[in-house]
Copies of this chain bind each other. A is one copy, B any other.
């Protein structure tokens, strides 16, 4: 099935080179296709590593081994396989990953734990070791490629390539951050995944890089949903080569640490939103802002209950300002809330305030707002100061077509 490019797609940005990062791709032919499907990123010595991973209990070997590498905090290379997720493949899947880390480690003269591997695609089929070995060899021998070529090679059923870039000043030093990502839901017929990678030339201690990435994750990747289904392989890794030459960041007390954190979060937010923009069948990009909650975490969970509600998402698809469904979703979230202090707005127009429909509510401007492809829903719980914003897309016939109308 050929997928049309999402109507919410964004062009791939101009991405600068990141000192200490070299990208290469190769054709491992994990599937019957003629495209690059193995990506290799070589990283400077002493590159700091941080990562966040799926909480799915049935996670892949790649996720298990990635966690071990992140605990040590250093990386020399990243390999991404597209077309086979290697999940639910037992010891044979693990052997395939160990073969790759060993092969790359030997080439670079580093520890196998400094080689990160991600895989995305069909589940239950061990990654073929012969294809992986030849693919890695071909990548090692190939010419460096562009950021967009590498991004295309990590994609599976993505309908467009997704990247983001930012800079930050650390003291007198300008540092660069590039991020790339793949994902658009758990796409049929395979077990697809969200894989994201951020590369920076900044010098950052691994523990602090992890602190920044975890904080950004809470406010970006953890705030998006396409279809409420959590992959077995979701992974976001951050690599800091240190080649920019800034004084190494170790905590938020360091000059420039706040700027670095802001730039990292900006890249993460853009990448996360791009995944939503490629959500299966998406025709509208929806921002759900929740305020007045007991805590920020509580606000995020309420936002996700709204963003995951099929009834809210189908209402938006139909251009229907059905705030009753938003009430329902708030109520089912299981978070502290009070029906009688609840207020709801679409595109800045309040439909309900303090538990009652707004008097003389005019649906006209709201209906006009819902005709666009960017929809804002604001919910004020009226019980605290916690707030969060969640991003999602609408639920359309396109989602059903992609996921039900053909066999794997």
Give me the interface of A with B, judged by CB distance under 8 Å: 55-59, 87-90, 122-125, 186, 188-191, 227-232, 308-311, 314-315, 317-320, 322-325, 327-335, 337-340, 342, 352, 355-357, 394-397, 399-401, 403-408
Contact = CB atoms under 8 A, between A and B. Distances in A.
Contacts of A407: 318-320
Contacts of A397: 397, 400-401
B88 A314 contact: no
Contact of A328 (B230, B324, B329, B333): B230
Contact of A232 (B123, B231, B331, B404): B331
Given A58-B337, A90-B356, A229 B314 contact: no
16 contacts: A57-B330, A58-B330, A58-B337, A88-B324, A88-B357, A90-B355, A124-B324, A191-B328, A229-B329, A314-B403, A315-B404, A322-B408, A394-B404, A395-B404, A396-B400, A399-B400
Given A123-B327, A191-B325, A327-B88, A311 B227 contact: yes
A322 B406 CA distance: 12
B186 A328 contact: yes
Contacts of A327: 58, 87-88, 123-124, 191, 232
A182 to B, nearest CB: 17
A407 B318 CA distance: 7
A323 B58 CA distance: 13
A56 B332 CA distance: 5
A-B residue pairs, 10 tightest by C-beta? A58-B331, A123-B324, A314-B403, A56-B331, A230-B332, A318-B404, A314-B404, A317-B404, A57-B331, A58-B339
For chain A, what secondary structure do more than half of its interface residues adopt (helix, strand, loop), or is it mixed?
Answer: loop
A310 B403 contact: yes
A160 to B, nearest CB: 22
B314 A400 contact: yes
Contact of A396 (B324, B356, B404): B404
Contacts of A401: 397
B88 A188 contact: no
A194 to B, nearest CB: 13
A185 to B, nearest CB: 8
Nearest to A185: B311
Contacts of A399: 310, 314, 400
A342 B337 CA distance: 38
B124 A310 contact: no
Given A189-B322, A229-B310, A396-B400, 5 more contacts: A58-B337, A89-B356, A188-B315, A314-B404, A318-B407
A8 B335 CA distance: 35
A211 to B, nearest CB: 25
Contact of A339 (B57, B324, B337, B395): B57
Nearest to A340: B90
Contact of A229 (B332, B342, B400): B332
A228 B335 CA distance: 16
Contacts of A189: 320, 322
Nearest to A342: B58
